[in-house]
Amino acid sequence: MPAGSLDKLKVAVLYGADAVYLGTPDMSLRTKSDFSLEDVLEGVRFAHERGVRVYLTLNLFAHNKDVSKLDTFIDTVRTVKPDGLIIADPGVFEYVRNRAPEIPLHVSTQANVCSSLSVKFWQNQGAKLVVLAREVSFAELTQIRRDCPDIKLEAFVHGTMCMTYSGRCLLSNFMSERGANQGNCANSCRWDYKVHLRLNDGTVQELTIDDSNRGMFQFLLEEGVRPGELMPIEEDSRGSYILNSKDLCLLPKLDQYLKLGVDSFKIEGRGKSLYYVAVVARAYRKAMDAWAADPEHWDATPFMEELDRVPSRGYTLAFHDGQLTNLAHGYEHTGQVSDAVFAGYITAHTDDGFLVDVRNRLDSGDVLEFVLPDEDVCADYHDVRLRLYEFQLEGLPSTVELVHPGQPRALKILWSQFEHEDLATLKKRMPPLTVIRKEKPLSETEAARVRLDQTARRMELSGGGCCSGGSCGTSTGQQLYQLQQTALIEARSAESELAEPKSLRTGNPGCCGRGCNGCLVFWHDPLYAKGRELMKQKKFGEKLSRNAIHENQV
């Protein structure tokens, strides 16, 4: 499981991970990591005490300027004593192998290992485990497992998909000068893009599509190997989305990977919420344990129902069967949708109850569902629900009927409010870092997206997607899918007509201080010259302090 912070690491461990991977912001592919060295040491102790492995990431593609940092990083790694170091760059791999031969080295998915030949190459270099590229199909994985029986293989099974080849993207560099393979991807493929038309009659006047002429034009995209499959470039008040991949989810096929003997399943999401980490970890943990207990009667349904309660862009099997189909992308709607949201998590126990860090608005009458990190290997879920009509905030004498996220006071809930639970065991069942969710009413657009995603999933599992020419478009599944696409577009159009126009955004008057090194205005506007000088003194990804921002008027 991914660990983007110390709390996320602990949540991953509590909810069933066998191993976690994490990085520091200066040398891994996660410049927004919230880990300090002290956090890493505490996280390693926490995991090891519970029998969970910890892998550190060193998976950037190094430039010359990065080489001087390697010795310091290796010294730090020796202090941490991880169970493995994940590396992508062959030069970095050789350097670390020679300087610290006692550290087990793993090959990152960023190395794009897609064949038995490449696995054997890395095995000969001393790798203990290879994380295969996400583009490897199950048939290819089967052959690799057969050809390479003496090295551990890891496969990605869940998380955000990059629209390029395992993260080898230049779009982010081009659009915002943020290097995807330096851990600073701006996710430009998720942005909204506006469509304009320039007349080709020798004039330089640009024709903008607006309400006065929008009905005169229709823009369609045709990909070379999909003749006749015309994809509309739809635009609403939010823009157009033509590069949006759905999220990877191989849980429906997990039994095949378990039978094959894959050594490790990897889940993406170091930037995701505590809620994502908890629910996804628990779903895969229970799915694996249920298969181990009774492989002949294993069923993915209850675990997929849990994953549907995590906001996603819709799920796809991606490259499991080889070539992608039209069902792997979502051109109509790029938002993450589910019928549940992260309500908060337990921060501490008190004598008479516990405190909650609230992460979404809570209204009188909301039902809080406590997602329990139980260790029961059965497929059933035994979560606890509590409806509250008023809320007690820590330190306030009176109750309130509305709680907003981000407010400085924690929500306090008493053990005595759980009238239908065994209070003798409840405290143990709901330890600190237990996550809480609440139902989220879906808009018409979101409900249409959910229906479309569910139909796409059924079609993908039954092999009903089109990968050339659209010749299967007459099937019942394709007809339903096309009708639901139309329904989603119509729902979005109706929603856009009621929405207020978007205001122009010119950005903040100064640097946010987050140390992303990626703001074009920041790097070119003379106003931020002092800020640029300050950032040169910082490690890559290190944040500016607020004092530095104010003192230097950055």
Residue 89 pLDDT greater than 70, yes or no: yes
Q: What number is the average pLDDT over the span 118-123?
A: 98
Place of tokens 């409840």: 426
CA distances 454 to 283, 319, 480, 513, Å, are 18, 19, 11, 41
Angstrom distance (rounded) from CA 163 to CA 177: 18
33: tokens are 């990591």
* pLDDT tens-digit series, residues 335-383: 889 999 999 999 999 999 999 999 999 999 999 999 999 765 555 678 9
Lowest-confidence region among 153-167, 233-247, 295-309: 233-247
Residue 429 pLDDT greater than 80, yes or no: yes
78: tokens are 């020796």
What does the H/E/C string look like for 243-300?
CCECEEECHHHHHHHHHHCCCEEEECCCCCCHHHHHHHHHHHHHHHHHHHHCHHHCCC
* pLDDT tens-digit series, residues 203-233: 545 556 666 766 676 666 565 555 666 666 6
Which pLDDT score is estimated for 240? 47
Residue 239: left (phi > 0), alpha (psi -120 to 50), or beta? left
Which pLDDT score is estimated for 208? 62
Which pLDDT score is estimated for 222? 62
Q: What number is the average pLDDT over the span 166-171?
A: 67
Share the mean pLDDT of the chain: 82
Side-chain-side CA neighbours of 432 within 13 Å: the count stands at 7
Q: Which residue has the higher pLDDT, 351 or 553?
A: 351
Lowest-confidence region among 176-185, 300-309, 502-511: 502-511
State residue 93 phi and psi, 5-degree precision: -55, -50
Contact present, 32 and 271 (Cβ < 8 Å): yes
CA 280 to chain centre: 11
Angstrom distance (rounded) from CA 96 to CA 87: 9
Bridge-partner residues for 85, per DSSP? Answer: 56, 105
Which pLDDT score is estimated for 502? 39
CA 76 to chain centre: 27
Lowest-confidence region among 96-110, 141-155, 258-272, 468-482: 468-482
Residue 504: band (very low, low, confident or very high) from pLDDT cuts 50, 70, 90: very low
Which pLDDT score is estimated for 108? 94
Residue 505: band (very low, low, confident or very high) from pLDDT cuts 50, 70, 90: very low
CA 53 to chain centre: 21
Catalogue all structural domains in the chain, each as residue range(s) with its CATH number.
6-161+245-307 (3.20.20.70), 340-439 (2.40.30.10), 503-554 (no CATH)
Residue 497 pLDDT greater than 70, yes or no: no
Bridge-partner residues for 355, per DSSP? Answer: 348, 412
Contact present, 303 and 379 (Cβ < 8 Å): yes
Which pLDDT score is estimated for 230? 62
Q: Which residue has the higher pLDDT, 275 or 328?
A: 275
Which pLDDT score is estimated for 264? 97
Beta strands in 313-433 (DSSP E): 315-316, 340-349, 353-358, 362-363, 367-371, 384-387, 392-393, 402-403, 411-414
Residues 282-293, buried b or exposed e (16+ Cβ, 10 A)? bbbbbbbebbee
* pLDDT tens-digit series, residues 257-316: 999 999 999 999 888 999 999 999 999 999 999 999 999 999 999 999 999 999 999 999
Place of tokens 């005595």: 416
In the chain, what percentage of residues exceed pLDDT 90?
51
Which pLDDT score is estimated for 76? 85
Angstrom distance (rounded) from CA 261 to CA 138: 12
Angstrom distance (rounded) from CA 240 to CA 220: 12
Q: Which residue has the higher pLDDT, 343 or 490?
A: 343
Contact present, 22 and 33 (Cβ < 8 Å): yes
- Give 147's DSSP letter: H
- Measuring CA to CA, which residue among 85, 75, 74 is closest to residue 126? 85
Contact present, 306 and 465 (Cβ < 8 Å): no
Which pLDDT score is estimated for 517? 46
Task: Label residue 297 exposed, middle or buried (CB < 10 Å: 0-12, 13-18, 19+).
Answer: exposed
Q: Which residue has the higher pLDDT, 459 or 59?
A: 459
Q: Which residue has the higher pLDDT, 25 or 524?
A: 524
Residue 515: band (very low, low, confident or very high) from pLDDT cuts 50, 70, 90: very low
Angstrom distance (rounded) from CA 156 to CA 265: 6
Side-chain-side CA neighbours of 219 within 13 Å: the count stands at 12
Place of tokens 């010795």: 71
* Residue 113 amino acid letter: V
Which pLDDT score is estimated for 426? 92
Cα-Cα-Cα-Cα dihedral sign, residues 491, 493, 497, 501: positive
Side-chain-side CA neighbours of 109 within 13 Å: the count stands at 22
Lowest-confidence region among 2-6, 80-84, 169-173: 169-173
Which pLDDT score is estimated for 481? 85
Residue partners of 110: CB distance under 8 A and separation at least 6: 29, 59, 61, 88, 166, 167, 168, 181
- Measuring CA to CA, which residue among 123, 109, 120 is closest to residue 156? 109
Residue 469 pLDDT greater than 50, yes or no: no
